[in-house]
Amino acid sequence: MKIGTSSVTDDHGAVDDAAIAKLAAEVAALRTGGHQVVVVSSGAVAAGVAALGLDARPTDVSTLQALAAAGQPRLMRSWDAALAGHGLVPAQALLVPHDFVDRRQYLHARRTLSRLLELGTVPIINENDAIASDEARYGDNDRLAALLAHNIGAAVLVLLTDLDGLFTADPRLGGDDAVLIERVTTDDPLLSIAAGHGGSGRGSGGMASKLEAARIASWSGVRTVIANAARADVLIDAVGNRSVGTSFDAHRRKLGARKLWIAFAARVAGRVAVDDGARRALVERGTSLLPAGVTDVAGRFVAGDTVEVVGPDDVPFARGMVSVDHTDLRKAAGHRTTDLPAAVAHEVIHRDDLVLLPG
């Protein structure tokens, strides 16, 4: 389960011990029922703001990182006390994006988390905000939770928030046109819409990040539920597949960890436009992208960065990890590989590093 900042802190940003105690009781009930539970808990930055007596949440990265360092112990102290009441031991693990994009780190994280579960602990996960660079971040814990669900092979991902689920309109704006959407199937266009980014103001997420997390989890083969953290037995009902919040079906097609990262989590550093022939080759035959099919290059990127691939209609249809930097690609664009110098990569994006975007 992932719990958002607004659901574990009060209006002043201080850690809400009662809210955490409520969720800890549900975790304990699931454990008694034979389930293993991993918790991704936001709230460190907000707790740091409250602990240091600041009037508002800052926006500069260095201060936010410092506040996370101050708030994380307070967050864990609350989880420790709440779980101890049920005879459970929390185990803190702070992750960074490199733990998912690097194969060795990915497997190491899986082994560590598996061992923590074998030992009977409740892993409490957060992004390592205090040291993560602004260029290499998950951006929010919803995305981290979805990638983590893939890593450990979870059966269900529960994203807890201060809303009852995904609505047809923002219910906080009033009116009668906001209707709860109870189920989203894998072919539902809702999995590709843009939702509002606005949240409580104490966290970094919003419904948009939860939809993105649901996409990631769906393409990992993991059922996802978005529900209200304050609802009685919300976690138990979500795991039991009872009607609660919005449920997203797991997709039959599953992407591997590396392609999940490229498709959904990597920072997009640029854009590569291709002609219709290259688009058909990528979509229909699953080929690598060659310089001959490139018509335009935008952005500044180096080999290993992730870029969007767009067709003649300027609509992104794929993402990939490039093998060449933007300067060399601009020179090579439109040229056949036989005409290129040996020092220039003859594949712009290898097919193993290319992902066709869902929908």
Residues 196, 307 within the same domain: no
Tens-place pLDDT, residues 11-61: 878 899 999 999 999 999 999 999 999 999 998 988 898 889 888 888 888
pLDDT value for 321: 92
Look at the chain and report how many structural domains it folds into: 2
Question: Hey, what are 126's tokens?
Answer: 């957060």
Which of 158, 130, 142, 128 lies closest to 38, judged by CA?
158
Helix (H) or strand (E) run with residue 68 in it: helix 61-84
pLDDT band at 278 (very low <50, low <70, confident <90, very high): very high
Farthest-apart Cα atoms in the chain, separation: 70
Contact present, 310 and 273 (Cβ < 8 Å): yes
A 10 A CB-CB count for 24 gives 24
Phi, psi of 161 (to 5 degrees): -145, -170
Residues 50, 151 within the same domain: yes
Question: Hey, what are 324's tokens?
Answer: 């060449």
> How far is the C-alpha of 49 from the C-alpha of 69, rounded, in Å?
11
Q: Which domain holds residue 350?
A: 268-356
pLDDT band at 196 (very low <50, low <70, confident <90, very high): very low
Give the DSSP letter of residue 246: E
Q: What are 122's strand-pairing partners?
A: 90
Residues 143, 13 within the same domain: yes
Residues 132, 102 within the same domain: yes
Contact present, 14 and 49 (Cβ < 8 Å): no
pLDDT value for 193: 47
The pTM assigned to this predicted structure is: 0.79
pLDDT value for 25: 98
State how beta strands 183-184 and 246-248 pair: parallel
Tens-place pLDDT, residues 111-156: 999 999 999 999 999 988 776 655 444 557 888 898 899 889 999 9
**Average confidence (pLDDT) over 220-228:** 92
Residues 215, 336 within the same domain: no
pLDDT value for 136: 42
Residues 174, 129 within the same domain: yes
Residues 105, 175 within the same domain: yes
Residue 199 has pLDDT above 70, yes or no: no
